């Protein structure tokens, strides 16, 4: 979940609505939550907003190191894409159409794409070694309609060139290996794995393959990124504390599942030391990333709603002060990421989807 798959996020939103309003239908029936526009009043930090994709579930869009390309994952049954596949495309100029191509094989499910420093390769997680087909989605009814997310043990992380040819398998453990990103110097990969019995962060030297586990506290640790200056890391984490919370967490983990609905933002030095909790808002505070100054943070959150909906983008200082709401969507905004030069921001949203469940990618100039 650097990165929670979009389909899973939509299930999460539906589950929240269902648990809050019984009975309830899907997002599609909640017309009051949907607005057909690409920019809302009050979004003063966005300018020249462009919608890059139209239709399907498009998410986790991230820039290449030179800022010229985007990698993202996409599901769209209408196009025969039954579960997330990986795509890349050049960043369009104003008025240009965003053109993209599939870079994954079309086998299994993929997630969590990132470009390497050289700009000639990408990394992503895939289940294709387990099966060519999409892995099954858990039956939420079995768990009281609670939002749960599968930790597919067939996920491993691969490196491919820009033609889609896999050139290297980076992880080999039996268990969930995903949510990988690359350090600013291009030498290290940080990723999430449950191979040691909990869901933790690991840092791998890409040249030697040597790695180190850097989180050791019970709970889900994932979606990690290095700061632009390479000195720190940022991620989201759940921290079950009560006896009931710990039991639920461990019971789900034993079934290769996790319920990531209560998460906070954490930071640490690049080696995992000096861990600090940034947010303590409750609900789901996730998809965090450092801003270009390597001091401020941007993240997605639903903490302002008692029923867990909508999700919006926020910025905050490292010490937890200076919280500012950035987006004003009444449905779902998440996966914010700045271009390397700090001039643009990319994010994914349910805005302007014509009352459907579609999630699309949006690009905007950033205004301080």
Q: Is 279 left (phi over 0), alpha (psi -120 to 50) or beta?
A: beta
How many other β-carbons are positioned within 10 Å of the β-carbon of residue 294? Answer: 17
Can you give the pLDDT at residue 118? 96
For the record, the structure tokens of 117 come out as: 């420093």
Can you give the pLDDT at residue 35? 57
* Rounded Cα distance, 203 and 96, in Å: 38
Q: Which CATH superfamily is domain 6-366 in?
A: TolB, C-terminal domain (2.120.10.30)
Which one, of 134, 131, 164, lies nearest residue 150 by Cα? 134
Helix (H), strand (E) at residue 347:
strand 344-349
Contact 319, 297 (CB under 8 A): no
For the record, the structure tokens of 245 come out as: 């919370």
Helix (H, G, I), strand (E, B), or coil: what is residue 167?
strand
Helix (H, G, I), strand (E, B), or coil: what is residue 158?
strand
Quick one: DSSP state of residue 1?
Answer: -
* Rounded Cα distance, 315 and 338, in Å: 12
Can you give the pLDDT at residue 160? 98
* Rounded Cα distance, 308 and 39, in Å: 22
Can you give the pLDDT at residue 28? 32
- Concatenated DSSP letters of 167-231: EEE----SS-EEEEEE-TTSSEEEEEE-TTSS-EEEEEETTT--EEE---SSS-EEEEEE-TTSS
Helix (H), strand (E) at residue 152:
none
* Rounded Cα distance, 51 and 108, in Å: 28
Can you give the pLDDT at residue 308? 75
Q: Which residues make Cβ contacts (< 8 Å) with residue 318, sequence separation at least 6?
A: 267, 276, 278, 295, 296, 297
**Would you kindly state where each structural domain of the chain is located, as residue ranges?**
6-366
How many other β-carbons are positioned within 10 Å of the β-carbon of residue 274? Answer: 9
For the record, the structure tokens of 41 come out as: 């009043």
Can you give the pLDDT at residue 36? 81
* Rounded Cα distance, 143 and 337, in Å: 33
pLDDT in tens, the chain (368 residues): 444 544 445 444 444 433 333 332 333 333 334 458 999 999 999 999 999 999 999 999 999 999 999 999 999 999 999 999 999 999 999 889 999 999 999 999 999 999 999 999 999 999 999 999 999 999 999 998 888 999 999 999 999 999 999 999 999 999 999 999 999 999 999 999 999 999 999 999 999 999 999 999 999 999 999 999 999 999 999 999 999 999 999 999 999 999 989 999 999 999 999 999 999 999 999 999 999 999 999 999 999 988 778 999 999 999 999 999 999 999 999 999 999 999 999 999 999 999 999 999 999 999 99
Instruction: Measure CA of the first residue to CA of the last residue in the chain; give whole Å.
Output: 29
CA 225 to chain centre: 11
Q: Which residues make Cβ contacts (< 8 Å) with residue 279, sequence separation at least 6?
A: 264, 265, 285, 299, 301, 303, 316, 320
CA 5 to chain centre: 7
Can you give the pLDDT at residue 72? 98
């Amino acid at each position: 979940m650097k990165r929670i798959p979009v389909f899973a996020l939509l299930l999460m939103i539906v589950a929240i609505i269902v648990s809050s309003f019984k009975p309830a239908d899907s997002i599609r029936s909640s017309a009051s939550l949907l607005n057909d526009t690409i920019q809302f009043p009050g979004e003063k930090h966005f300018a020249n907003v462009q919608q890059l994709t139209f239709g399907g579930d498009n998410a986790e869009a991230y820039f290449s190191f030179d800022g010229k390309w985007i990698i993202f994952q996409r599901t769209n049954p209408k196009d025969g894409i039954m579960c997330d596949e990986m795509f890349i495309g050049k960043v369009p100029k104003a008025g240009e159409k965003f053109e993209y191509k599939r870079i994954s094989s079309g086998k299994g499910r993929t997630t969590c794409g990132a470009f390497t420093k050289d700009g000639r390769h990408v990394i992503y997680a895939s289940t294709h070694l387990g099966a060519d087909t999409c892995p099954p989605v858990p039956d939420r009814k079995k768990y009281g309609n609670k939002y749960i997310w599968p930790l597919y043990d067939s996920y491993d992380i691969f490196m491919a060139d820009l033609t889609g040819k896999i050139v290297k398998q980076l992880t080999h453990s039996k268990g969930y290996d995903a949510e990988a990103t690359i350090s600013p110097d291009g030498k290290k990969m940080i990723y999430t794995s449950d191979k040691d019995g909990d869901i933790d962060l690991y840092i791998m030297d890409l040249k030697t393959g040597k790695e180190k586990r850097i989180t050791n506290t019970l709970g889900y640790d994932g979606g990690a990124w290095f700061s632009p200056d390479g000195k720190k890391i940022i991620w989201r984490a759940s921290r079950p504390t009560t006896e009931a919370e710990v039991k639920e967490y461990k019971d789900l983990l034993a079934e290769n599942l996790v319920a990531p609905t209560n998460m906070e933002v954490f930071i640490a030095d690049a080696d995992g030391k000096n861990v600090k909790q940034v947010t303590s808002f409750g609900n789901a505070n996730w998809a965090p990333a450092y801003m270009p100054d390597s001091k401020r943070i941007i993240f997605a959150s639903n903490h302002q709603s008692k029923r867990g909906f909508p999700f919006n983008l926020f910025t905050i200082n490292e010490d937890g002060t200076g919280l500012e709401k950035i987006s004003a969507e009444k449905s779902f905004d998440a996966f914010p990421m700045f271009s390397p030069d700090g001039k643009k921001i990319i994010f994914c949203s349910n805005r302007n989807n014509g009352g459907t469940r579609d999630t699309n990618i949006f690009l905007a100039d950033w205004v301080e």
